[in-house]
Structure 1
């Protein structure tokens, strides 16, 4: 039995070293009077002691110097060599002063006079208790060592530096712990940072250092998580560092941060590359839109100038032909009138297509008039009432904004006609502070989240791209009483809405 687990009232296992039979009987009587259950084993040689101690079931050893075959010093040394914390009490005669001194010097826990064995029970109880305390202490140290070993193994495999930073009441900083990752992250050895916390702050330039100090003060003042990013000094290459840690207030104005510092340079480079890629895509999208508008304008001009004039000449020729037909050629006259009617339809269609491709009214009368005209055409073509509410002459967006909003309104009305099954549409165009707001709402089937997430929803993607080019924002959602509601907001004079660029890019990609 390990002495750490022995209880005061549990059976005692006592190893007797070098006693005579008479002394064994005396000891048995002493323990019998204490009411304790005791088992003894006598050992008289070093080999016998070695075998007995290897069992490690003993609570205590009593050395009685009655047989010369095993000296006390030899017994104590052997027990130590075997690595067993077995307390040993030296039971000596009153005239054995020299042996007592040698035993104490060798490491005996206590000395009991053989003529006063009544003191043995308290001494045994005390030494067993002390042995248990030592065993508990050793177990705690072993657990601590294991825990530290696991922590060091974990810290060495983390991509960064674990740290424990303390600030005293005077505002002085000191590292209590830094992991081995500090060498790779900052180029400092552990002892350098532990000896001087300013080495960390000196790794950043004056502006970055001030930012870090302010972040620490803010974290301490609000007792909130520290999450700071900064760029180190560097002749050739800078490093972006993220410090993330939780504060913990101690007594007397002392605070500690426990956290991790990581190298986020690659992440920052990826972010920059992504922003550049998005910017290039936005520029490409704007260029493609400009090319499409130029092509629309060319086609619109060709339809208006060339096809329109041809249709007009055809109508004139048909009218002249009809006027020269004899009165008796009634069927031919009716056919000519029918062809003239078809030409009127063709001219109307050509005019509408040219207007949709490049609405001249947008240039001449502005966005409100163009949207009202588009709404009238929509109602005439599809028989769906479209009510328009505009601020009128108070709206003066630039050409790009006007064209983009007109195209979006055009696309939205086309979608209503194709998919919404609506019986009415409402369009509102107005100024909101320094922004222009366009709202298009119908009472149709509405749009679901799944519809908005479809990979081939090119209409929505086109709206996103236009809003991105204008530094605007938009939302599409089910209307309050059924149907779909589309709201767009763009700066009237090209001013960027706060936070819009990143938000719109994240929506687009």
Structure 2
């Protein structure tokens, strides 16, 4: 529509000039002819001839001036405008897929072709208005005209030749007689010879930003050439600026993309609706799933959360839709593609644009599995050390109690006897041998107790108590009137040193009581290894006793054995009757 209106306007203007020109020419020619005929007073045919000649001579220039010349100028201007627009369109299309250097070179080639030059160059001028950068030569210049190096080089404006006068004067400069110029500086070695040149400055905001030059046109440069090159260079600079901005934006985006794609942490950008805008490749290292899988399936991030942490994660997701929510973080677990559990340190914060509009949230997920495992290991070690310390303390107390309750009492008995003997008169002490024999018996008992205790304490790892029972029974038999038979039934299980120590002390206390009180001739000891517990059954054929008739102060040994079993979560029972022996049963659970 716009082109149609322009065409009709153009047609109307030229028709108006033609309509005005014809009457004006006829009127002027008739007046002139009448004046000439009046003075010459010739024949009628002569009058007509004079009239025709004068009309033709006057009307043709007038019609040309008023109509045809403007028409021709309009045609030239239209062709020129068309060429400029096509030039601009070609540059814009070329710049889409090519570099800035290639765009600069094609621009020079296009202008060369339109003007008819054979040399073209482009210089950029820095913001200091003094530093020049050679950016491009035309293709013909590089291939046929100039071998001088210098692309990308820079130098000061005051060192440049007369071609740079356009930047100094801030207007186009034409040299149609370059060889005759007195102030020219010449050209470097390998540079093309210059016969004519046209250089134009490109200005933006009052500053010269570049210089475009065309040289060696076969004919002189005209004002139309100056206008055309100025217009084309101005249009071209807009395209260059846009291209440089696009390249800078593309480079910035590539740097950003490279930076975030190669971050070790898992970076995510979620929009206000909770959909993924960006998901870094690190997610595959942590979760085993690719970024595309999370984008295609927005529920995947929820489905891989560990069931124990799912509720906390769902509550945290509410922040995604709250533009007033501040930065927050928490730790949770995910189940990776390979089934492994990974600990994630999750930090998210709101994103805002330049207009303070809410753009969603940025999430940084860091794999802290190794740290968590180290913390758990440290906690386990601390717990083990605490348990070990408590165990050692308990063991110390139990050993102290054992020593006090057994060996300590024996030593106290020996001291008391020794004190008595030291104060008695040997001549009047008739039972001296009996006392010494009794003391030796107590000393041997203490020795045996120490040996048994050391063997249990020095044992490393799990133990089978059967060997300790056999050895201790043999020691008791050496000094006692009864025989001891120790047997084992079932598949033996290894016990901890603490279990062996406790049941051994109970076993030792039982044999000590039989030795002191039972007056037995035979003792039977059986270790019964059951499915979930160990039973120790000790039977003697001694005189037995009635438990309810035992004096209150004499229950010490029985209480001692009960406490041992309680420490192992076991049981202790007694069956005895007067003149019918005694049966002691100890039960120790394995777990």
Structure 1 length as normaliser, TM-score?
A: 0.38
By relative contact order (CA 8 Å, sep 6+), the higher-ranking structure is 1
User: Which structure has the larger Rg?
Assistant: 2
